[in-house]
A and B are shown apart, each in its own frame.
Chain A
Amino acid sequence: DIQMTQSPSSLSASVGDRVTITCRASQSISSYLNWYQQKPGKAPKLLIYAASSLQSGVPSRFSGSGSGTDFTLTISSLQPEDFATYYCQQSYSTPSFGPGTKVDIK
């Protein structure tokens, strides 16, 4: 099975900050990496697929990069509605998720 790790596990940031979250796979997954946002009490929402493709309707302040084993999700200017938990997920083989990164207000 492919194990996914994320760092940091949590971060505090202010509105307008640039935020970067890192995801690492235990083996190469090419670009089969997706990012989701989850707010409390809500279902996850797809943000980025195939490492860098923006899902329809998702603001352009979200971007993804990487390939192989190392990936990043960047929020260029954090907005109040972006405070949430973010998960990476590999779709190279049997799906698996990272442990999540909680973004809260500084």
Chain B
Amino acid sequence: EVQLVQSGAEVKKPGESLRISCKGSGYSFTSYWISWVRQMPGKGLEWMGRIDPSDSYTNYSPSFQGHVTISADKSISTAYLQWSSLKASDTAMYYCARRDPTLQFDYWGQGTLVTVSS
């Protein structure tokens, strides 16, 4: 069974750093890109960027370029999303999603809620 399991909810202060994770199982982790998607409270879905776990090549949405970093460790089938300096506006639910070769997001993690508040 294909699963993407994300790390738990986080509460952080502005300016702090954070890394959240997404562990894939039940499939060949290096054969599918992983994307990260943001959903701010009560809002829609925003694509942040993606990584090819086979070579760690990344693409970012211009809206998120420079503010987050996506990485992966293929030895443990895990992708990461990290911030070096959080802002209150980063408060959101973050989802990882697997991109099928036919280009849709066919499996999603359960989401990680990040709350940034002083």
A96 to B45, CA, bound (A): 8
In the assembled complex, the Cα of A98 lies from the Cα of B35 at a distance in Å of 17
B81-96 CB contacts (< 8 Å) to partner A: 95
Q: A79-101, CB under 8 A of B: which get 1 and which 0?
A: 00000000101010011111110
Residues of A within 8 A of B24 (CB): none
Closest to A43 in B: B108
Is the Cβ of A94 less than 8 Å from the Cβ of B47?
Answer: yes
CB pair A99–B104 under 8 Å, yes or no, is no
CB pair B44–A46 under 8 Å, yes or no, is: no
Q: B104, A97: Cβ atoms under 8 Å?
A: no
Q: Give me the interface of B with A, judged by CB distance under 8 Å.
A: 35, 37, 44-47, 59, 61-62, 95, 97, 100, 102-106, 108-111
Interface residues of A, Cβ cutoff 8 Å to B: 1, 32, 34, 36, 38, 43-46, 49-50, 55, 87, 89, 91, 94-100
Given contacts A36-B45, A43-B95, A94-B47, list 16 more A-B pairs with CB under 8 A. Answer: A1-B62, A38-B45, A44-B95, A46-B104, A49-B100, A49-B103, A49-B106, A50-B103, A55-B106, A89-B45, A91-B103, A91-B104, A96-B47, A97-B44, A97-B45, A99-B44
